Amino acid sequence: MISRMKKLTFLVYHKEYETFLQRLRELGVVHIVERQSGEMDARLTEFLQKRTLYRQTLSAMQARVQKGGAEAAPAGQPTAADTLVNGYEQLQAHIQELQQQLPAIGKEMEQLEPWGQFDQRRIQELEQAGWYMQFYVCTEKEYDEAWEQNAGAVRISEDGPRIYFVTVTPQPVQLDIEPLRLPALSWQELSEKRQACEEEIGRTEAELDRYCQANALRMEQCCAELESDIDLLKVKLSSAPMAEGAVLLLEGWVPEENEAQVCDMLEREGIYYEIRKATRDDAAPVKFKNNAFVRMYEVLTKMYGMPSSTDFDPTPILAPFFSLFFAFCMGDAGYGLILILLGFYLKKKMSANLAGMMNLVITLGIFTTVFGAILGTFFGMSLLQSDLPEQIKQFIIAGDVELFGSTYDKQMILALGIGVVHISIAMTVKAINSTVFYGFKESLSAWGWWLLVVGSVVVGTLSFLSVIPAEVSKWAFIGVGGLAAVGIYLLNNLHRNVLVNVGAGLWDTYNMASGLLGDVLSYIRLFALGLAGGMLGQTFNTLALMVVDGREGVGLVFGWIGFGLIILVGHTLNIAMSCLSAFVHPLRLTFVEYFKNAGYEGKGMEYKPFKK
């Protein structure tokens, strides 16, 4: 459901404006209409830049705390946010500087490796004694044996086609190749330098981890304080000065259930205000008002977009159908039990914000357990082939059924049936919503399509179940089609010419005929994904049993170890893939098939009260 909103208009004396905003923020129920235009305020720009920096720093701190497996320490002294950011950046910069030194040291060690370990001071002593040592590298084709006689060349090592050699002469020699300039430090000194650098990185990393653990919660507080300051500044910029700045005009929205609370505060403060109901033309913010079960699924609606104030809340219908679709795609009662246990376990480990999401995981696990049992699968095993009593097996939907002279899988028929019901509900919602907000006369086309589709489904179902005879169903189809055609082709728009209405109706018929069949067939994915997950689970079971069969003695022990590994790894992988597909595809059926046929656009604005 969507809470009804009231439009508030304030006129506040400029000297009382700051105090009034503080009281309004403490109340925390009024959504302020932002009216800033033109260039952004310099202070607000600074705050928004800081918010990005603070959030990045907080995210990095929290990642380090979680990676270390520790918990953030309670917030200590109220350190300024800029001080915390500078402290983090200095440690991070020092680590990056050290990490940049390692490749350079490694490159110098790589240059010295072909020459072996030697002391550069010995070379300097040779120069002082009047002997010059020069280092060269060339290919075997370039190497001249005469250098050994003329320049005292001595081969040091060979690396494939390359030859490393030195010359020791009283005077520097000039060969056909350029001498190398080796690092000033020896290989041993470079190795010690690299080790010292790595140890310093380790110490700084540990210091940074301790810093993040000690200051993460305080940084989170600073982010919240800055967010509050940004909200306050936005509200200040949203006011319009009147009477040469003597009074300030401010507009906002308040839920109907909080109206009395706000009015009492305004009257106590002596603030002039006006309040009225939202009209169809108002862009009022939207606040959901649902029960605990539906509230878990509001996050899915928000992923698509909030409803407008003149729209309907799709969440109450989204919740049960998304759960059913998820369970159908998972299709295994055992996997549902795993989700329930995982949800309860993670609920204790996660923060308060994320723990609420685990309630959704537990709920989806319950749906999967129940529906997986109905589909007759438990960890890839068929419950129909188990020792369950026949009274229980009769509720399992599995096997084939004969329809219209052909054989079909029961679960495939079930998936298509669910799709027909889902789309029928979408069209019903669209017709009702159009009538509520635009009137019955403006909704005759929607009701015409609803009558044609839903009426045909109802009549066809009653005829198939032999509730009504064939002759009655024939006249019922004719009546439903004729009455629907009036709304679709003649009365789809009472403000247009009849011929234009007929043309528009024909175009709608083409779109509906080409789209509706595809929409219904899209629901086969529920059956296909559930079947794929079940077959993959069954395959892992078969592979595991093959490892054990025919083994004796010590081989049997290793066989059971292999059995356990295949079962554990295989079903874990299958659960992960099934969960991914069971989330994405039901979301697609909701966002595309259901929302399209329900006329839901999701272009509304979320209710965000001005509060601390």
Low-confidence ranges of the chain (pLDDT < 50): 37-39
pLDDT at 311: 80
Structure tokens at 516: 């509706």
Residue with tokens 């052909």: 406
pLDDT at 550: 63
pLDDT at 596: 86
Structure tokens at 552: 């004796």
**Three-class secondary structure of residue 241 per DSSP:** strand
CA-closest candidate to residue 309, choices 343, 339, 279, 354: 279
pLDDT at 234: 66
| pLDDT tens by residue, 202-220 | 899 889 888 888 888 888 8
pLDDT at 144: 85
Kindly write down the DSSP assignment for every residue of 411-452, as one continuous string.
HHHHHHHHHHHHHHHHHHHHHHHHHHHH-SGGGHHHHHHHHH
| pLDDT tens by residue, 394-440 | 888 877 777 777 788 888 888 988 998 898 888 888 888 888 777 77
Question: Residues 12, 16, 20, CA angle at the centre, nearest 5°?
Answer: 75
Tell me if 2 sits within 8 A of 294, measured CB to CB.
Answer: no
pLDDT at 243: 55
Structure letter (DSSP) for residue 444: H
pLDDT at 37: 47
pLDDT at 603: 84
Tell me if 169 sits within 8 A of 132, measured CB to CB.
Answer: yes
How far is Cα of residue 142 from the mean position of the Cα atoms in its chain?
61
Tell me if 5 sits within 8 A of 259, measured CB to CB.
Answer: no
Tell me if 6 sits within 8 A of 584, measured CB to CB.
Answer: no
pLDDT at 348: 80
**Three-class secondary structure of residue 247 per DSSP:** strand
Whole-angstrom distance, CA of residue 570 vs CA of residue 468 = 50
Beta-bridge mates of residue 11: 249, 272
Tell me if 445 sits within 8 A of 492, measured CB to CB.
Answer: yes
